[in-house]
Structure 1
Amino acid sequence: METETFVDVLEEAGLSPYEAQVYVTLLDLGTASATEIADESGIPGPRIYDVLRSLADRGYAETYEQGTLQARAHDPTDVLEDLRERASQFEAAAAEVETRWEQPELKSNKASIVKRFQTVVDRAEQFIRGSENQVHLSATPADIDQLEDALQEAHDRGVAIHISVHTEADEAPPSAERFEGICKEVRHRRLPAPFVALIDRQKTCFSHHPETIDQYGVLVNDQTHSYVFHWYFMTCLWEHCETIYSERNTSPPIEYVDIRRLVGDIGPLVEAGDSLAVSVEGHNVQTGQPVSVTGTVTGTEHATGISGAEMPYRVAGQATLYVDTGEEELSVGGWGAVIEDIEATRIVLEAADRPVEFDR
């Protein structure tokens, strides 16, 4: 390293310009008098004594009297440790700049655009590790490999995880055993698709599939925006796809995080007059306060206005469950409920007169 550059680096490390110049001179001269050091370094004579004392105070130099003031560079162990610590801090700062550039925190911003697909996957992993209720995921088998540990941990906590795994058209779907212990249900899409992760109805990670021209990702921390991605997931990446793995029970208790699916499954039982008991967790639509109720089902309602549509309760329109708690009858809706009493995040069918026949 050239002397001029060396001096500049020492200044970046916290030395003053005079201190840096004198310290480099001491390293070259070894032991020398104050006058010699001033002459060699180009520092004004009247200032050299203050500079040497400052370097001595900082552990960079030693001074002593031998007729005149003498100085030499101090054992560099402490200096080297200090410089290496500073270097580590600069490295850490550089890494932090890269991280914050690629993975902006979603605090004040409701949505952020990122450049790298891996950033989207990394943030999805972070969100899944912090999930509490549900995860919907559209991913390739390779993406799922990256997220497997996070998915398994969330599944073990009781998070309801549903995966739409997509492959090339001529590629066979992964085996059902591949998904044991990481999710509740998997469907297979035989076409490339975007990466989508929806976590707890609040956070979304989205990126185009790798073959698209425009490569970017979207990170969302907002329920309203995530709601749009949810319907994209349900209509384009879930409903029409083949189920290849499921942990769902056919007899109670049966857990639901999608009220439309519940309404569709139990509709025939309700119409037949069967007795059904449910427990509901969610929020009061008016106050936003957490709600937990149990009771018997008194009715269901769903409508789409789409004549002849298949499984209309799953893709559009009203879907409401009516529950008698013994004290009052409450109406229960799903994500984005506005006319019901409760917005449900999780419903468990606790008891039924006969097994449920799933639509799909």
Structure 2
Amino acid sequence: METESLVETLEAAGLSPYQAEAYVALLNLGTASATDVADASGVPAPRIYDVLRSLEDLDYIETYEQGSLRARAHSPSIVLDDLRRRATRLEEAAEEVEQRWEEPELEAGDASIVTRFRTVVERAESFIDEATHQILLSTTVEHLQELTPALRRATERGVSVRVSVHTEKEDLPPTRDLFEGVCLEARHRPLPAPFVALADRRRASFAHHPDSYDRYGVLVNDRTHTYVFYWYFLTCLWEPWGTVYDATGDGLPAEFLDVRHLVRALDDIAWEQSPVRIKVEGQWTDTGEECTVEGTVVDVRVPFGSEAEMGFELAGQVTVDLDVDGDFVSIGGWGALVEDIEATRLTMVESPER
């Protein structure tokens, strides 16, 4: 590095122009009088004494009297440590600037476009850590492993977690141990897919496959937009694919992802012939207040032509009516408008007769 460039770099690291000039001159001279340093550096003679003492205060040099004020550079280890600390702070500042530019704080109702896939995964992790009800995740094995600690914490605090893992067609299906303690249920899609993380029906973190041409991500803090991502997750990333892990077991209680899944299960067990009791966690559609009710199924309203056609249908209203201590309460799924409760968690529990 040329002398001029070294001086400029030391200035950028925090030294004043005079300090940088004097220090570089002293490095070249070894030991010298204040006058010689002034002559070699171009620092005005009246200023050289103050400049040398300021460098001594920084532990860059030491001064001593020998007929006149003289100076010599300290071992460069002190200077090197200082410069490296400054370099580290600059690097951290650069990363912080990039992060703040890439990760704007999401206010309610916000949606943001980001350009780094890394940002999408990092924001998904924060969504998972803040979730209280439900997490739906579409991811690769690699990113699932990265998010596993956050998913475990969510599962431990009672959040309902479901994961769709996608792999290349030639890859083996993921093993059960990948999901133990991480989620309630997992499915495997043997095709590449976008990264999708949905938290509490309000927050969404989405990005195309990292190898795709369009490399951008979307961050959402809004129920309406997240609802669109939910249907994409349900129809393309969840419903068509086989289950590879299920922690719910075959007996009761049994938890369901959506009211449509509950209806399908009710049909399978012929609910009209044997009372079935359902616990519902959700919110009242008229006030938005959270609620928990438990009651017996008294009716199932579906948009199908006959019971024989009953299955997982995507269109139309699906409602489950409960008798809750003598009151009839209607239960709908995400986005429910005409029902009494929008369910966020549906659990089939033991009926009184069983």
Partner of 1:71: 71
Equivalent residue letter for 1:2: E
Shift of 1:46: 2.2
Displacement of 1:345 in angstroms is: 1.5
* Cross-structure match for 1:223: 223
Shift of 1:172: 5.9
DSSP 3-state at the match of 1:213: coil
Aligned partners of 1:225, 1:354: CA distance in 2, in Å?
Answer: 43
Amino acid corresponding to residue 282 of structure 1 in structure 2: G
| TM-score, with length taken from structure 2 | 0.82
Going from structure 1 to structure 2, the CA distance change for 1:8 and 1:340 (only over 3 Å counts) comes to same
Structure 1 position 25, deviation (Å): 1.8
Counterpart AA for 1:334: G
CA–CA distance in structure 1, aligned partners of residues 322 and 274 of structure 2 = 14
1:207-250 CA distances to partner (integer Å, 9 max, x unpaired)? 33456433333232322111101111212232233334433344
State whether structure 2 residue 10 is matched by structure 1 residue 10: yes
Change over 3 Å in CA distance of 1:163–1:31 after alignment to 2: closer
1:38-92 Cα distance to aligned partner (Å, 9 max, x none): 2121122222233233333443343444443333334555443322211211122
**1:242-281 mapped onto 2 (5 Å cutoff):** 242-267=242-267, 272=272, 274-281=274-281
CA distance in 1, matches of 2:263, 2:105: 34
* Farther off after superposition, 228-237 or 336-345: 336-345
1: CA distance between counterparts of 2:38 and 2:180?
Answer: 76
Distance in structure 1 (CA, Å) of the matches to 2:10 and 2:276: 77
Contact 1:252 1:352 in 2 (8 A): no
State the secondary structure of the residue aligned to 1:237.
helix
Secondary structure of 2:43's aligned partner: coil
Q: Is the 8 A contact 1:205 1:218 kept in 2?
A: yes
Q: What is the distance in 1 between the residues matched to 2:171 and 2:333?
A: 35
Asked whether the equivalents of residues 234 and 315 of structure 1 are also in contact (C-alpha less than 8 Å), the reply is no
Letter in 1 for 2:214: D
3-state SS, counterpart of residue 311 of structure 1: coil
CA contact (8 A) 1:106 1:112 kept: no
| 1:1-360 alignment, distance < 5 Å | 1-74=1-74, 76=76, 78-100=78-100, 104-108=103-107, 110-167=110-167, 173-174=173-174, 179-209=179-209, 212-267=212-267, 272=272, 274-303=274-303, 311=311, 314-326=313-325, 328-352=327-351
Q: Is the Cα–Cα contact under 8 Å of residues 278 and 347 in structure 2 kept in the other structure?
A: yes
Letter of the structure 1 residue corresponding to residue 275 of structure 2: S
Native 8 Å contact 1:278 1:349 kept in 2: yes
Q: What SS class does the counterpart of residue 135 from structure 1 fall into?
A: strand
Deviation at 1:140, TM superposition (A): 4.2
Percentage of identical aligned residues: 51
Post-superposition CA distance 1:110-163 (Å, at most 9, x none)? 333334445434443443344433222334445545544544444444433333
Change beyond 3 A, Cα 1:49–1:167:
closer
Q: Distance in 1 between matches of 2:138 and 2:209?
A: 10
C-alpha contact 1:164 1:189 (8 A) present in aligned 2: yes
Contact kept, 8 Å, 1:116 with 1:217, in 2: the verdict is yes
In structure 2, what is the Cα distance between the partners aligned to 1:64 and 1:268?
94
CA distance in 2, matches of 1:268, 1:211: 42
Q: Which runs of no fewer than 5 residues in structure 1 stay unpaired? A: 356-360
Match of 1:358 in 2: none
Note the C-alpha offset of 1:267: 4.9
Deviates more, 1:268-277 or 1:249-258: 268-277
Number of aligned positions between the proteins: 353
TM-aligned CA distance change 1:246 to 1:287, over 3 Å: same
> 2 CA distance for matches of 1:212 and 1:346?
35
Contact 2:33 2:71 in 1 (8 A): yes
Contact preservation (8 Å) 1:18, 1:43: yes
With 86-95 and 227-236 compared, the bigger mean Cα shift is at 86-95
CA distance in 1, matches of 2:146, 2:289: 36
Q: 1:32 corresponds to which letter in structure 2?
A: A
Q: 1:139/1:20 Cα in 2 relative to 1: closer, same or farther (>3 Å)? A: closer
Structure 2: how far apart are the matches of 1:208 and 1:126?
A: 19
SS at match of 1:315: coil
8 Å CA contact 2:264, 2:310 repeated in 1: no
Q: Contact between 2:320 and 2:331, CA under 8 Å: does it hold in 1?
A: yes
What is the alpha-carbon distance in structure 2 between the residues aligned to residue 222 and residue 236 of structure 1? Answer: 21
- The answer (yes or no) to whether the contact 2:103–2:119 under 8 Å persists in 1 is no
Distance change >3 Å, CA 310–CA 88, structure 1 → 2 = same
Q: Is the 8 A contact 1:137 1:198 kept in 2?
A: yes
